[in-house]
Amino acid sequence: MVSTGGFNNVRSNAYRVYDPTLGSLGGYQILDAANGFTHVGGATTAYYTLTNQYPHIQSGNAFFISPGSSGAGSVTFTEAVKSTSQKLVNRTYRSIDSVKMNATLYLPGNKVADGNVVFFGSSYSNIVDSNDVLKFPNFGENFFILQDSGSYIVAKRDLIGSSDSIFYSFSNLVPDTYKLTFGPSNIAEVGLSAILIDNYADTSFAISLTTDTEITFVVDSNTNSLQGRFTLVFSRSARPGIDMASEQTFRKVFPNPVTDKEFFVELNNELSGNCNIQVVNSTGQVVFKQIVSKVENKKTIKVNLDHKLPSGIYHVILTDEKGKKTTQHIVVR
């Protein structure tokens, strides 16, 4: 369809199909070119095998696509787009060694409910754009990535930087015990590590960047046990031949925990020009921002919040004029 012009002004790198075996009521699978047209859930279901590629649409198979950025799109089926094989799902597609993190939600009884994936690459941006795929809400359980207050099943981001954070949330989960698995691919680097912060239970877990990691968590009647529940945070330690001081624009925030409407950012090296400071909550929403001008030779920056923040875990993001971005975590009480 892509090579023969069957798609006109539609996003041709991904399409959605319905999997009736997903979760308790069925759900939508996303088949994305960056993932080799294997589904992104991170585990095999009765309909879709994790390692199989599905670059073709089956006869009689319903599918969903998204329009492009310049108005209405169209799909045209011609003889040129048809395949001569009846076993379309077994046809091969170009293998892509993507840098990614799959995340999968399991119901009690170890049944796959939903999943999502984050890709990392130099051709992607941390700004939400047409490469990111919005979440189709399932009738049952939903597990998704929060970006710019939107819900996504596929996020495509720039190469992993120090303190990069991925925000996860859920909907339609009933009180019970659930399981998450995190499956990394081609992420492992010397000095790179990851932790998963449980913003509701106030705990954290080390996440392997070489093998799958499983965690269990409990959902109760409090909506905070669903909304913005987890944050995956990457960090870097010193690596041979790299001056970490040149990579970090600040090294700590104090006091931490924050109990008032102000805190200080301690700089790690000399900056110039204007710096943008953002405070982001556990659902990925920017709750405060401040521009600090002429930061040359400053050792600390005072941040004055315009209102008292609700108790919880927040992320302080500092971006300098060169686009260097660093994140630190604070606890507000």
Q: Domain boundaries in the chain?
A: 7-236, 244-332
Closest CA to 287 of 249, 251, 315: 315
Top-confidence range, 4-18, 113-127, 240-254, 274-288: 113-127
pTM for this model (two decimals): 0.61
Burial class (CB in 10 A: 0-12, 13-18, 19+), 79: exposed
Q: How many residues does the chain have?
A: 333
Closest CA to 39 of 60, 21, 59, 66: 21
SS3 329: strand
**CA dist., res. 313 & res. 10, Å (int):** 39
pLDDT in tens, 271-321: 667 788 888 876 677 889 888 876 666 778 888 887 778 877 788 887 777
Residue 254: partners with Cβ closer than 8 Å, 6 or more residues away: 263, 264, 266
Q: How many CB atoms lie within 10 A of CB 216?
A: 10
| Token couple for 329 | 């975590």
In terms of C-beta distances under 8 Å and separation of at least 24 residues, what long-range contacts does 77-82 make, across chains too? 77/6, 78/4, 78/6, 80/4, 80/6, 81/1, 81/4, 81/6
pLDDT in tens, 178-231: 999 999 999 988 888 899 989 888 888 999 999 999 999 999 999 989 988 998
Beta strands at 192-198 and 176-185: parallel, antiparallel or unpaired: unpaired
Q: Name which CATH class applies to 244-332.
A: mainly beta
Confidence (pLDDT) at 74: 80
Closest CA to 92 of 101, 83, 105: 83
